[in-house]
């Protein structure tokens, strides 16, 4: 029997077969979870349906712009109906910034671009956590996991505004963990190494970041999305029942190196 057998988990952020959220969903399905999907667009909805059909899986796929609080409230009404009002976990795998601000100098960031990156990539965790709270409580508690990157802590060339938004996201993880801990709701982040996805393609010089990890990390290779998915699964599951407010690196150890 899988560790997530009979438990409902809401997964956001599947865009295509490369998405970190898709690989996490595969880990969750493997461990017996009832995965519920929330996607950004009708195009993604059709894409996820195709992926699920290919894997022989049936699951609800709802539409939601997570930066719109009304849409988030509606999403959780729909989620409640298909989960008997109980949720064991939530994956936030959402980020967005203007492509032209993911290169060059950070000092050139616009006010609009700054706000857009923070609302899309950090505030969406708050709205989703708020929306999921009652359903997680009804399940006796559960896990919330988001995806971050090393650029939250260190200057990574071209990551710019997204690094600042990820710093906000990681701080948000700690504040949410503090608010929700008394309800046995745990909130954690996985800081993944660079993986070739659509979101990553927007960052100038991304291939060089992947190459650098493969050359310089202790494991001397790229991180895979399946490895990230299995770590998210761990944090969502009871195996991590004593872990909250944490940022856990899945980057082949790259962040420990001093060069």
| 97-134: b (≥16 Cβ within 10 Å) or e | beeebbeeeeeebeeebbebbbbbbbbbbbbbbbbbbe
Backbone angles phi and psi of 52, in degrees to 5: -65, -45
> Is 254 among the residues known to form the active site?
no
Q: Are 176 and 126 in contact (CB under 8 A)?
A: yes
Query: What element of type H or E holds 192?
Result: strand 185-192
Query: What element of type H or E holds 25?
Result: helix 20-30
Q: Which of 8, 9, 15, 125 binds ligand NAD (CB under 6 A)?
A: 15
User: Applying CB under 6 A, does 199 fall inside the site for ligand NAD?
Assistant: yes
Q: Which of 9, 11, 19, 156 binds ligand NAD (CB under 6 A)?
A: 19
> Is 149 among the residues known to form the active site?
yes
Nearest distance, CB of residue 149 and ligand NAD, angstroms: 4
Nearest distance, CB of residue 67 and ligand NAD, angstroms: 4
Q: Which of 24, 83, 93, 127 binds ligand NAD (CB under 6 A)?
A: 93
**Segment near ligand NAD (CB under 6 A), from 76-84, 103-111, 153-161, 195-203?**
195-203
Q: Are 85 and 135 in contact (CB under 8 A)?
A: yes
Q: What residues are annotated to the active site? A: 149, 159
Interacting residues with ligand NAD (CB under 6 A): 12-15, 18-21, 40, 44, 65-67, 93-96, 120, 124, 147-149, 192, 194-195, 197-200
């Amino acid at each position: 029997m899988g560790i997530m057998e009979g438990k409902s988990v809401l997964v956001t952020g599947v865009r295509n077969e490369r998405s970190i959220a898709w690989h996490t969903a595969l880990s969750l399905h493997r461990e017996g979870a009832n995965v519920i999907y929330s996607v950004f667009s009708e195009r993604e909805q059709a894409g996820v349906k195709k992926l699920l059909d290919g894997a022989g899986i049936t699951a609800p796929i709802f539409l939601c712009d997570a930066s719109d609080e009304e849409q988030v409230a509606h999403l959780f009404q729909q989620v409640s109906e298909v989960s008997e009002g109980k949720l064991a976990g939530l994956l936030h795998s959402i980020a967005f910034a203007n492509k032209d601000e993911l290169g060059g100098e950070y000092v050139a960031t616009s006010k609009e671009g700054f706000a857009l990156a923070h609302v899309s990539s950090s505030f969406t965790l708050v709205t989703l956590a708020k929306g999921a709270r009652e359903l997680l409580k009804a399940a006796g508690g559960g896990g919330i996991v988001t995806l971050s990157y090393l650029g939250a802590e260190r200057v990574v060339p071209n990551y710019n505004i997204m690094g600042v938004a990820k710093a906000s996201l990681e701080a948000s993880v700690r504040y949410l963990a503090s608010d929700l801990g008394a309800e046995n709701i745990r909130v954690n982040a996985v800081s993944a190494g660079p993986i070739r996805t659509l979101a990553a393609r927007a960052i100038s010089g991304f291939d060089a970041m992947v190459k650098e990890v493969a050359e310089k990390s202790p494991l001397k290779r790229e991180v895979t999305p399946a490895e990230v998915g299995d770590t998210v699964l761990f944090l969502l599951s009871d195996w991590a029942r004593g872990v909250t407010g944490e940022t856990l690196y899945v980057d082949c150890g790259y962040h420990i190196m001093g060069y």
